[in-house]
Structure 1
Amino acid sequence: MVLFDSSISPLTHSAKLSSPLLLSSLSHRPLRYAVLGAGFAGLSVAWHLLKESPKDLNLHIDLYDEMGIGGGASGVSGGLLHPYSPKVKLLWRGAECWKECMKLLSIAEQAVSSEEDFVSLSGEFDQDFGGILDRRRGIIRPATNMKTLNVLNDNAKNCLANCKIEIIDKNAAEKLVPHIHMPFNLAFYMPEAINVNSKYYLNALFLACQNIVKELSASSFGKKNLCLQKKSVYELRELEGEYDAVIICLGAKADLLPELAGKLPLRTCRGVILHLQLPDKIGEDYPDHGPSILSDAWLAIKGNRSLYLGSTWEWKSRNSSSNVSTDEASDALQELLPKASAIYPGITSWSFAGARAGLRAMPPLTPHGSLPLLGCVNNILGNDLKCKYWLLGGLGSRGLLYHGWLGKLTAEAVLSCNEQIIPSELTSWKNKDSRP
């Protein structure tokens, strides 16, 4: 077994990936990894383990999720993708996150386009959205108070070149979204921002993982294998002795593992997302070129007559079911509709068509913002373990933006057994003073 050495300095890409190759050749067996969770984090880690591992390495990955691909909070995400915080500030490492997420979107799109028989497993919640992977119409955020207005002006000057912020006036905004309400007659518009069909995307990314397995296994190099295990892992000790590394990507469910219960500085938050449709009797569609809308409630436009409306925040919830009761849906409507109609009055003509919910794992606040939790957790679990345990968690409501870059970092750290590949801001939570 290759031991983890926290004193190892970051290595070159070719050198740092020599450890799993050496392990595989010496043991004459495939290197075995378990990835727990098939949401944004788990699928990204699985893809990057396959992509970043040496081609002649024999590698077997088991992807565990009792709900299947995108069965948790990731699969019901609204899918609004941009590198800025709700206050319009560029997020920590926003450029890296945006770049890697765009790469994964492209990979997923290529997988779908090359697979004639690909069928979306999105479920009833996405059936009316035309089976598209993403809708590229941008995102608009009206200025609703002086603080937002000031932040808009500051950040429009320092935005990313490939996801710029345009300050637009009321006339320009109404050309994008007729009758939009503009309290300060100004809004910021991100034309490159994207609305992703999350469940469809996750299934497409899984297909991409399967494709790369076929491609690499058909070559004269090492064998790769990826198996989806639709079952729960209730305790980490169930996996002891079976794997060389276990990567925990369970979101809010990570704290349900007895070995980690109460040891992660995470807060849980259940959010309800509503599906609204424009009735047939209403002749005026949402404009095809119209962007999604950010405000106190967000509108993720999925088509001319379908949208998501979100989201509620129920702190400390332990309810991870995606099912929403009639009362819970009614409460969500009463909370979200006034917020949405304050910016887009036309939403009052739309009809309720369904609801789903997800349980998010919200990370602690740091000087750099609310950053996810990464790193090897053997020091938390105990030092007498036979394999290495890693965590990628606490992506919160920004999982779609974070998952590409952080999944890549985690995969490279696992393959090299070198935690120092990960920025210290993402592993500092393990310090004694920062743990609960």
Structure 2
Amino acid sequence: MSPLTSYGKLTSPVFLSSLSQRPLRYAVLGAGFAGLSVAWHLLKESPKDLHLHIDLYDEMGIGGGASGVSGGLLHPYSPKVKLLWRGAECWKECLKLLSIAEEAVSSEENLGSESGEFDQDFGGFLVRRRGILRPATNMKTLNLLNDNAQNCLASCKIDIIDKNAAQKLVPHLHMPLDLAFYMPEAVNVNSQYYLKALFLACQNLVKELSASGFGKRNLCLQKKSVCKLQELEGEYDAVIICLGAKADLLPELAGKLPLRTCRGVILHLQLPDNIGEDYPDHGPSILSDAWLAIKGNRSLYLGSTWEWKSRNSSPNVSTDEASNALHELLPKASAIYPGIMNWSFSEARAGLRAMPPLTAHGSLPLMGCVNNILGNDLKCKYWLLGGLGSRGLLYHGWLGKLMAEAVLSCNEQIIPSELTSWKNKR
């Protein structure tokens, strides 16, 4: 990829910066899956002699939005298709970022005072590698998953196992059709810890690149909201909008994005001390009408509800909302894992998903330069990475890399047309 690449009439800001030796300034709005992936790849993919300053804006801090609420079940499949669109690329790049985050944490037992609000022990796990199990509950699901098993990735295979094998993994599991689909390489990510670890990796990369003696790098977390894009005009060479459902709250984009909003409540359940039989350490997480993201022998997350057209982005859940979620989700979960009735409610949290429109390739995120939507008389380039929906964890690695490459080269053609075609349908 050459820094001389042009988009429209604008020469790449990377090239202009290298001529003038001025710092290149980028603003990334949102510190969730998309925003942190973009920030990492801007640092990683930019020329080493470039002076680069990135401001990461999020009033909630790292992982404070819907990304941090995610259940973290990661695999490249959907029950409706054999393999998600570009699932192989997404799976590969996501695993890379997970490894980068784990390496960042392992390099420091505790985060030092230089990390500000993150001077805490991460504790627990970032990635729980126990696989994911999906019991077949009806013939339609059985046939769809059977197709998936025949067309799976070598790096994330799908095994068809019988009742005995499944109950060795999870004792007393209910098996309506005596068959289950097991993905041993699928993982369960502790989303909030992961996002903080990825931010730490970005900080470490800044130090490493700046110490190399070439270009100087800066990455600043700005814990404040951006209410209008106009506030940033003239301050940056590019602004990358990774705000999820909140992108539609920007007045310049309100009503212009084909996004649907959906609030989801996730329940944290714990096994009481007086219950002796805990969840097996080797036990996988479970997918069904309600999913179980296993966090440990006596801790799990249960999700998720779907409240369409909600505008409530608060992570706080009222007593009534939590009670309704329990009433909805527990019967679905107990139909597969009856033992969950012994578990006690601990807390509830919620996130507002930004769901993209349905296309021939499935529900695909929205990407691209949005200057033509905002207006032509602009001093910087505005880019959007949004609508990752319920698959933000899977998509964020590869799409964040594509977005960084497109921004650095000022070339939208790097992005697959399936992700930019939404602009032509407005």
Q: Same fold (TM over 0.5)?
A: yes
Q: 3-state DSSP class of the match of 1:290? A: coil
The whole-number CA distance in structure 2 between the counterparts of 1:122 and 1:303 is 26
1:131-174 CA distances to partner (integer Å, 9 max, x unpaired)? 21111000000011111111122121110001000000100000
Tell me what 2:362 maps to: 369
Instruction: Return the letter of the residue paired with 2:183.
Output: M
DSSP 3-state at the match of 1:26: helix
Residue 299 of structure 1, aligned match among 292, 302, 308: 292
User: Would the alpha carbon gap of residues 385 and 28 (structure 1) be closer, same or farther in structure 2, given more than 3 Å must change?
Assistant: same
Cα deviation 1:283-342 (Å, max 9, x = unaligned): 001000000000000000000000000000000101000000000000000000000001
**1:5 and 2:7 equivalent?**
yes
| Aligned equivalent of 1:209 | 202
Tell me if structure 2 keeps the 8 A contact 1:6–1:420: no
Q: Which residue in 1 is equivalent to 2:274? A: 281
Distance 1:122 1:23, change over 3 A: closer
1:42 to 16, 35, 45: 35
Q: Give the secondary structure class of the aligned counterpart of 1:352.
A: strand
| 1:187-336 mapped onto 2 (5 Å cutoff) | 187-336=180-329
The residue number in structure 2 matching 1:396 is 389
After superposition, the C-alpha distances for 1:390-413 in whole angstroms (9 at most, x for unaligned) are 000000000000000000000000
Residue correspondence of structure 1 range 70-109 to structure 2 within 5 A = 70-87=63-80, 89-109=82-102
Residue number in structure 2 paired with 1:158: 151
Q: TM-score, normalised by structure 2?
A: 0.95
Which runs of structure 1 show a deviation greater than 4 angstroms over 4 or more consecutive aligned residues? 119-123
**1:62 to 1:133, Cα distance in 2 relative to 1, 3 A:** same
Deviations, residues 200-258 of structure 1 (Å, cap 9, x unaligned)? 00000000000000001011101011000000000000000000000000000000000
Code of the residue aligned with 2:85 in structure 1: it is W
Q: Specify the alignment match of 1:148 in structure 2.
A: 141
CA separation of 1:328 and 1:93: change in aligned 2, threshold 3 A: same
2:52 and 2:393 map into 1 onto residues whose CA distance is: 27
- After superposition, give the CA deviation of every residue in 1:38-95 in whole Å (9 maximum; x if it has no partner): 0000000000000000000000000000000000000011000000114463100000
Residue 358 of structure 1 corresponds to 351
Structure 1 contact 298–311 (Cα < 8 Å) conserved: yes
Map of 2:47 onto structure 1: 54
For residues 369-399 of structure 1, the C-alpha deviation after alignment (integer angstroms, 9 at most, x for no partner) is 0000000000000000000000000000000
Structure 2 CA distance for aligned equivalents of residues 293 and 232 of structure 1:
36
Q: Which amino acid aligns with 2:263?
A: R
* Aligned amino acid, residue 33 of structure 1: Y
Q: Which moved more, 1:110-119 or 1:357-366?
A: 110-119
> 1:141 touches 1:294 (CA, 8 Å); kept in 2?
yes
In 1, Cα distance between equivalents of 2:299 and 2:349: 15
Aligned counterparts, 1:99-138, within 5 A: 99-118=92-111, 130-138=123-131
Contact 2:14/2:409 (<8 A) preserved: no
The AA in structure 2 aligned to 1:64 is Y
For normalisation by structure 1, the TM-score amounts to 0.93
Given residue 31 of structure 1, which amino acid in structure 2 is its aligned partner?
L
| Compared CA separation, residues 303 and 45, structure 1 to 2 (3 A) | same
The CA RMSD measured in Å over matched residues stands at 1.9
- Name stretches of at least 5 consecutive residues in structure 2 with no aligned partner: none
Distance change >3 Å, CA 388–CA 427, structure 1 → 2: same
Amino acid aligned to 1:274: L
Amino acid paired to 1:249: C
Report what 1:13 is aligned to: none
Determine the structure 2 residue equivalent to 1:180. 173
TM-aligned CA distance change 1:279 to 1:87, over 3 Å: farther
